[in-house]
Amino acid sequence: MISRRAFMTVLSAVGAAAAARSATGATDKVLRVGFQKGEAIEMAAKQNRGLEERLNPLGVQVQWAEFQYGPPMLEAMRVGSIDIGGVGDTPPIFAQVARANLLYVAALPSGASAILVPPGSKLETLKDLRGKRIAFARGSSAHNLTVVALEKAGIPYNDVQPAYLAPADAAAAFERGNIDAWTIWDPYYAIYETRPGVRVLAKSSDIVKQFSYFMARQAYVEANPAIIAKAVQELGHIGTWAAAHRPEVAQLVSAATGVPEAALLRSLQRNPLEVLPMSEENVHSQQAEADRFYKLGIIPMAIDVRKEIWHANA
């Protein structure tokens, strides 16, 4: 694993600048960060205290809260329990419908997801999903991936049996053979794809281009724009470091989570590990997804994604 000294060398210029600015006085603030187990950038930041190194000299404390997947994280953000966190493409759409008052503050090209079938399955193509029981977390990126996969196969959404299950529950159902297919993201995908008899029916890369996003509480962003800007910048630095040290990150995250190191390394090798400013491509992608969900009746109202975009320099 890369040493603490080596990690800090990567961020030395950033740390020095933050330390210099500390002379302006402490702000006595807290940034509460939500993360999901296995998310490399957030886990690397948490384990190596990159955000703390950047923000503590400014008088900002960092607190961490773990979530199993995106929708519960954004619900916690909606009620004010956390301030920022990374999720897939679908949770922000459901949050906007719920008037959660959250903002997109950065984008990340998504890692891999897939539709898996259990041992003994006779399913061969997406067209074979008609009438089948498909597990995915409602309001998660897997929800959108499933919808687009069915569209590509020419299968109406109401011609399948959705099983709205959180990842842990879906994993149990998958192992028992209680579902016909499971739409899931890394590192769960990486954990299960090598199990005997398990097959990949389709990869996300063959279905639709997806993004993940850092979302933040609107009230926090408006009160603390400089803190959010610095946090996003720091997460970008950590992503750059992680992309150059994937084996070390796999070891680090495995030690912290218990997820097998080999599975984590597979997932990291297909993850760009980039943190990017919000772009027109992101807006169009999210708006197309929101329109799709509204047309299918999955969400009850049309939304304008552009209203939720934050630009640091605006």
Mean pLDDT on 174-198: 97
Confidence check: pLDDT of 4 > 60 = no
pLDDT single digits (tens) 34-83: 999 889 999 999 988 999 999 999 999 999 999 999 999 999 999 999 99
Domains 4-110+210-308 and 113-206 in one fold = yes
Question: Coil, helix or strand for 203?
Answer: strand
CATH number given to 113-206: 3.40.190.10
What is the distance of C-alpha 80 from the center of its chain?
19
Q: 21 versus 80: which is more confidently predicted? A: 80
φ/ψ of residue 103, rounded to 5: -125, 145
CATH number given to 4-110+210-308: 3.40.190.10
Cα-Cα-Cα-Cα torsion 205, 293, 136, 189, nearest 10 degrees, comes to: 20
In angstroms, rounded to a whole number, what is the distance separating the alpha carbons of residues 136 and 204?
A: 14
Residue 312 has what pLDDT?
76
Residue 258 has which token pair? 């218990």
Q: 13 versus 119: which is more confidently predicted? A: 119
Dihedral sign (CA 5, 105, 55, 17):
positive
> Which residue stretches of the chain are H helix?
4-10, 12-21, 40-48, 50-55, 70-78, 91-97, 141-153, 167-176, 188-192, 218-223, 225-244, 246-257, 261-269, 280-295
Confidence check: pLDDT of 270 > 80 = yes
Residue 38 has what pLDDT?
81
Long-range CB contacts (within 8 A, 24+) of 286-291: 286/89, 286/92, 286/93, 286/104, 286/211, 289/89, 289/90, 289/93, 289/144, 290/93, 290/96
Residue 28 pLDDT class (50, 70, 90 cuts): low
Mean pLDDT on 153-177: 97
Residue 37 has what pLDDT?
82
Domain residues of the chain, as ranges? 4-110+210-308, 113-206
pLDDT single digits (tens) 278-290: 999 999 999 999 9
State the chain's mean pLDDT as an integer: 91
Confidence check: pLDDT of 26 > 50 = no
Check: pTM over 0.95? Answer yes or no.
no
